[in-house]
Amino acid sequence: MAINTSLVRVAGTGELSLAPPGTPEPTDATTALPAVWSGLGLTTEDGVTLARKVEKEGTAHWQRITPARYIIKSHELTVKSVFQETKAQVLSAYFGGLVFAETAQGSKKYRAEISTLPKSDVRALCIDWTDAISETEIYHHRLYVPRAEVSETDDAQWSRTQEARWGMSFSALAPPGSSTTLAVWLTDDPAVIAGLGSSSLAVAPDKS
Interval 135-177: pLDDT, tens: 999 999 999 999 999 999 999 989 999 999 999 999 999 998 8
pLDDT tens by residue, 114-141:
999 999 999 999 999 999 999 999 999 9
Strands of 13-137 (E only): list them.
13-19, 38-39, 43-58, 70-83, 101-102, 110-111, 123-132
Asked if residue 4 lies in contact with residue 201, where contact means CB atoms within 8 angstroms, the answer is: yes
- Report in angstroms the alpha-carbon separations of 56 from 52, 62, 151, 175: 13, 20, 22, 21
At 138, the amino acid letter reads: I
Q: What is the mean pLDDT of the chain?
A: 93
The strand pairing partners of 150, in sequence order, are 170
pLDDT > 70 in the chain, percent: 94
Topology of domain 5-201, per CATH?
Factor Xa Inhibitor (4.10.410)
Asked if residue 49 lies in contact with residue 154, where contact means CB atoms within 8 angstroms, the answer is: no
- Report in angstroms the alpha-carbon separations of 168 from 48, 61, 148, 155: 10, 42, 12, 9
Confidence check: pLDDT of 76 > 60: yes
Is 0.75 surpassed by the pTM of this model?
yes
pLDDT class of 206 with cuts at 50, 70, 90: low
Mean pLDDT for the stretch of residues 18-40: 96
Confidence check: pLDDT of 83 > 80: yes
Asked if residue 11 lies in contact with residue 205, where contact means CB atoms within 8 angstroms, the answer is: no
pLDDT > 90 in the chain, percent: 87
Residue 198 confidence (pLDDT): 52
Mean pLDDT for the stretch of residues 183-191: 97
Q: What is the largest CA-CA distance in the chain?
A: 77
Residue 15 confidence (pLDDT): 98
Asked if residue 43 lies in contact with residue 82, where contact means CB atoms within 8 angstroms, the answer is: yes
pLDDT class of 205 with cuts at 50, 70, 90: low
pLDDT class of 55 with cuts at 50, 70, 90: very high
pLDDT class of 197 with cuts at 50, 70, 90: low
Confidence check: pLDDT of 201 > 60: no
Confidence check: pLDDT of 203 > 90: no
